[in-house]
Amino acid sequence: MRKLVFCTQKLDADDPVLAATVPMVRALAARVDELVVLCDRAATAVEGVRIHEFGAPAQVLRGARFEAALARELRCDGVVAHMVPLYAVLAAPLVRPLGIPLVLWYTHWKAHAVVRAAERVSTAVVSVDERSFPLRSRKVHALGHGIDISEFACSDPPPAPTRALVLGRYSPAKGLETILLAARAAGVRLEAHGSDETFETYKEELAREFPEADLGGPVPRSRLPELFARSHVLVNNMRPGAPDKVVYEAAASCLPVLASNPVFDDLLPHELLFDRDDVDGLAEKLRTLDARRRPELRAAVAERHSVEHWADGLLATVSRR
């Protein structure tokens, strides 16, 4: 492919949530002649990639600057809207009349009006799994999650006692009460890290109710291998429809993962899955956990969820006119 335009929120290798976009951009850049990234802000440069920042203090101005930047790059073979459906909605009037493919990457459980509009105006939709896009649509293609395997390595498990790890925002959608109650019942030490932005009160309530848990703040992406190495298990209880990337990253580190989201059934064996609201069931899995590292999980990520697999699938989707 000669030229691709990739629209995303931020390029920042140290961002606790969005850092994984950087290896995705690198993988795409290695596969096209020219890659242009439109983003709100860029703190990390990527070799061979041209970047347009459209950040502005007001949403209307950001939208206008986004469209102006895209209008300068319309001699291209495809446009990708990454995780922000509004980008697809704004891009469609510019690219669709020219016959330029417009592909939306979205993996979340929220099916708000902008998602519905973006699905209608996009040429195709790509997601981790057909179940990780919140609408039923024949446009959806499953690509896997795009993990940079080289960032993670297997390690020996730490000594007892069992340490459970939770990573991600402090949000009711994460089902944290179930995890905390199960860890308490199982006598397992739990360490959590994540942002409490918009949910500060929720985190404070959890800290009061579960004083024995270590509820920390967000950590740079560079610290993930360290956290995986000192833990025996990652626990994820995100509501169905949003397969958290951290599950695949932990699996790439050979760390056992206990998860409730059915979408992980292509990655995790049955014994590592639990029902979302089943405190007793999760507590029993924590008590009986086989804490040995699992190279087979890393192999599954490498086969179906690597950033190389993701980039190849995305470009193949863009090329389908």
Phi, psi of 116 (to 5 degrees): -65, -40
DSSP strand E in the chain: where? Answer: 3-11, 34-42, 49-53, 79-82, 102-105, 124-127, 140-142, 163-167, 189-193, 214-216, 233-236, 257-259
Angstrom distance (rounded) from CA 169 to CA 28: 28
Angstrom distance (rounded) from CA 2 to CA 84: 24
Distances (CA, A) of 314 to 109, 136, 145, 221, 307: 21, 19, 11, 24, 10
Residue type, position 264, single letter = F
The pTM for the full model equals 0.93
Q: Tell me what the mean pLDDT of segment 258-271 comes to.
A: 95
Query: What domains can be seen in the chain, in order of their start residue?
Result: 3-146+306-319 (3.40.50.2000), 150-302 (3.40.50.2000)
Residue-wise pLDDT tens digits, 79-133: 999 999 999 999 999 999 999 999 999 999 888 999 999 999 999 999 999 999 9
* Nearest alpha-carbon partner for 53 in 222, 75, 311, 61: 61
Residue-wise pLDDT tens digits, 144-154: 999 999 999 99
Cα 309–Cα 311–Cα 316 angle in degrees, nearest 5: 95
